[in-house]
Amino acid sequence: MPLIAPSLLSADFLNLQHDCDMLNDSEADWFHLDVMDGRFVPNISFGPMLVEFFRKSTNKVCDVHLMIEEPEKYAEAFKKAGADNLTIHIEACKHLHRNIQQIKSLGMKAGIAVNPHTPVHSLQDILADIDLVCIMSVNPGFGGQSFIPHTINKIKELKQMILEKGLAVKIEVDGGVTLGNAPAIIDAGADVLVAGNSVFKSSDPAATIAALKAL
Ligand code: DX5
Ligand code: ZN
């Protein structure tokens, strides 16, 4: 059974309380919070201040996905805001190992996200140090994009690497996840499904979450 992490990027920002209540009453496992800086990705979303409000609105895991340059400058602020998981992009880090140690020393679970063009074997020498890999199945920056099919092979390859090393690293898949493609994504080895549009734009978001969870 996968963990379901709805992405609040697709929520109604004028009615966040409503959407948080819906998630709290649903079978969602994590709140997936997408932070964008307009530099690493061509869009700006929100920062620690909003994460703090989400933290206050839920007891569920706050899974913060940083799509930002120089994440080391902000790790402490996101810890203070209440992040449980902090995921940074391999493409944004010159000193990835150091950044991962910083996140763990602050008491958060550490994740690494990889863009669609980044091979998963680039994680070979850091896999044992992290809790989560976020496989981007769209180019990061926007909700509502289409799933990039070759990502399925990356999930399988990463799953194999994790099993060979005997690790408990979770595989999260982020971007374009729907009820239609989720079975193949889970079969390939995903543990956590992020879903923005397919949840929040559906006629019954809580039912969609339950349907994803039941896969
Ligand atoms: C993309 C974000 C995703 C996105 C997912 O840059 O990291 O979390 O909001 O949204 P959907 O499911 O609509 O692709
Ligand atoms: Zn995300």
Mean pLDDT score of the chain:
98
Q: How far apart are CA 89 and CA 1, in angstroms?
A: 26
Output the pLDDT for position 175: 98
170-198 residue pLDDT tens: 999 999 999 999 999 999 999 999 999 99
Q: Which numbered atom of ligand 1 lies nearest the CA of 177?
A: 12
- What stretches of the chain show up as alpha helix (H) in DSSP? 16-25, 48-57, 75-81, 96-105, 151-165, 182-188, 197-200, 205-213
83-101 residue pLDDT tens: 999 999 999 999 999 999 9
Q: Are 87 and 62 in contact (CB under 8 A)?
A: no
Residues at CB less than 6 angstroms from ligand 1: 7, 9-10, 32, 34, 65, 138, 140-145, 174-177, 194-198
Q: How confident is the model at residue 117 (pLDDT cuts 50, 70, 90)?
A: very high
At 20, the amino acid letter reads C
Q: What is the pTM of this model?
A: 0.98
151 is written with which tokens?
A: 């990502």
